[in-house]
Structure 1
């Protein structure tokens, strides 16, 4: 049996071919370039291109990360949602600084967003909650995310009651459901290259405007 390190070393990575990245003529705003890349990822059939890793820190500064779904992108704002009482929700209360990471391996592209997360107004949080599927709303209404569960049957019982509530009162909204917006200070676009001559472009906020620069691989 092969050693793990040998097995991993023999796995292929960044084999390409990948799309061209014409970095000499890019938009002034990082959200515009992000949407261009996102649409390409969708067109190329990248599975779950809206999946992203949300990174936070806890009360002692230890990092934490998990995969969420991107909810929207507007002018230099990225959106996600979660329960305020979940572990990530509690961490966001203590320290709103976050990082978002997108990786689309089929096209060899990665986007890193660093900034501050803020809770949207109540009406926006409610609207986002009601746009979720009935099953997703029911699960959110159960609550207890990240808390210890003594028996699996407890989830089944609570979920059954929540589904009945959603059916009887479809406009029920979880009071802990929050929609967050991330206002970045830095956004980096990484285009992989089979020869490892990767292209990295980093946007940096400068007041109300943005500048960008090319980084070494």
Structure 2
């Protein structure tokens, strides 16, 4: 990196959003509950495209690959997205069914990260999701190719910036009885 490029990048302000208040002593038992709460705050703050997320997978050599998709649903069965099985991401998921999701809501300086194994939804669910797309988008998909996938989280992390740079991190990890949750602040 040239010193000119470095100087240009360093001159760009970072974490310029306005973080909402956060009560680390009143966290819900489930990451789904916290996500839905944070999504409501994002919608109230008019965050542009709050369901756009980065999906990261790995190819057969283990090299990461990332692209932006739409979050379709979030519930106790997983975090859903869809794509064609014949796409590069579909092939990567078939070969190595694990993924990471990342959402960034700049105006409120919040991020959500999810990672875990990925399972295919039923053919009926995939077809139902395909029917929500425009007729033009539906027409471009081969018969039986559209697939709804769900990440079943092994870790869900909520991150919120803090103006003092002691950012908040809330991590949920599944257990046999539900979830453990740990909230920390950066030092």
- For Structure 1 versus Structure 2, the TM-score category normalised by the shorter chain is over 0.9
Superposed CA deviations along residues 142-164 of structure 1, whole A, max 9, x for unmatched, are xxxxxxxxxxxxxxxxxxxxxxx
Q: Residue 180 of structure 2 aligns with which residue?
A: 211
Write the distance in 2 (CA, Å) between the matches of 1:17 and 1:62: 35
Q: Which runs of 4+ in 1 moved over 6 A?
A: none
Unpaired runs of 5+ residues, structure 1, are 142-173
- Normalised by the length of structure 2, the TM-score is 0.94
Which has a greater percent of strand?
2
The change in CA–CA distance for 1:103 and 1:15 in structure 2 (over 3 A counts) is: same
The answer to whether structure 1 residue 202 and structure 2 residue 187 are counterparts is no
Q: Residue 190 of structure 1 aligns with which residue?
A: 159
Unpaired runs of 5+ residues, structure 2, are none
- Superposition deviation, residue 216 in structure 1: 4.5
Aligned residue-pair number:
184
Write the distance in 2 (CA, Å) between the matches of 1:10 and 1:195: 19
Write the distance in 2 (CA, Å) between the matches of 1:76 and 1:189: 19
**1:92-171 alignment, distance < 5 Å:** 92-141=93-142
Judge conservation of contact 2:170–2:182 (CA < 8 Å) in 1: yes
The change in CA–CA distance for 1:16 and 1:53 in structure 2 (over 3 A counts) is: closer
Q: The residue matched to 2:101 in structure 1 has which SS?
A: strand
- Normalised by the length of structure 1, the TM-score is 0.81
Q: The residue matched to 2:39 in structure 1 has which SS?
A: helix
Judge conservation of contact 1:100–1:112 (CA < 8 Å) in 2: yes
CA RMSD of aligned residues (A): 1.4
Judge conservation of contact 1:96–1:116 (CA < 8 Å) in 2: yes
